[in-house]
Amino acid sequence: TSSNMDNLYNTSSTLLLSGFNLPPESVAPAFLFATLSYMIIVFCNIILILTIVLNKSLHQPMYLILLNLPINDLMGSTALFPQVIKEILTNSRTMQYSACVVQAFFIHIYAGGTVFILTVMAYDRYIAICCPLKYNTVMTNARIMKMITAVWMCSFVLISVLFTLLLRLPRCRSEISHPYCDNPTLLTLVCANTTINNIYGLFMVALSQIIANGMILYTYLQILVECFRSRRSDTKTKALQTCATHLIVFLLLECLGLFTIISYRITNMSPHLRRFFGVSTLIFPPTLNPIIYGLKTKEIKEKVVHFFRNKILAS
């Protein structure tokens, strides 16, 4: 019986993905859409990174925190797009289990990273608007580095535990009902009790949501109160503009993320809708973040325009 058990768990290291099942006439448009989306994400995020890194005047707390967002977005979309583009182009629906785990790991790091980075950005705006006189003493470069390190470490540790719990379980299936890999999808391949995984997964989501939503709600309420107290209309307008853009990005991410998490719990949901939500979490925020933050931030916009006018057009 032990050999039978070995055979049962000795599943193939190649997984079968449920592909996009595109009709032949849709392959070219889908390939173009995916490739263009990825190129736009890479282009916009690299421009934002280079603008902040190469301009000494932007080496301030707000931009040093912001710098982490395009890095994180590039990581998330690079975990997804090359595999999806290959899948569309070659119509191959297979993937190595190890590659699937790596993809899932980075997609989860991206999701956690985004939530934590936006939380730190909200804290930075709160200090800047509500305690402007303390700003330079509170937001020192050393403290910024500590906060950024904490963001990445928290994300890395939480997700590493999630995947350690996953990889200890035996697999006996090798078909995935999703166009890319993530923890809930990988858990469907397991033939063992996944209660601990489910409890930890929900605990992790709840913990990060409580911290992020609590922090963002508190800081924005304080900023709003401060804005309405302020006599200066320009301060009020600028603060409200900054907060509005932050909130739009955060709410977009929250809605897409929550729909994706809920879609796994609803058994009779259309697989196309589930795929759409899953993929959109990795398309919309990475595309919109650099545009919203880059173009809404006057200093960054000026530097980008200056760079293109002087370097690109002059040559």
pLDDT value at residue 314: 64
Burial class of 81 by CB neighbour count within 10 A (0 to 12, 13 to 18, 19+): buried
What is the tens place of the pLDDT at every residue in 185-222? 899 899 899 999 999 998 998 888 898 889 988 988 88
Per CATH, which fold does 27-309 belong to? Answer: Rhopdopsin 7-helix transmembrane proteins (1.20.1070)
What is the tens place of the pLDDT at every residue in 85-112? 888 888 777 889 999 999 999 999 999 9
Q: Which residues have a Cβ under 8 Å from the Cβ of 160 and sit 6 or more positions away?
A: none
What is the tens place of the pLDDT at every residue in 211-263? 888 998 898 888 888 877 877 777 677 777 777 777 777 888 888 877 777 77
Split at pLDDT 50, 70, 90, the class of 38 is very high
Split at pLDDT 50, 70, 90, the class of 5 is very low
Instruction: List beta partners, residue 176.
Output: 17
CA angle 79, 83, 84 (to 5 degrees): 105
More confident residue, 14 or 307: 14
pTM of the model: 0.86
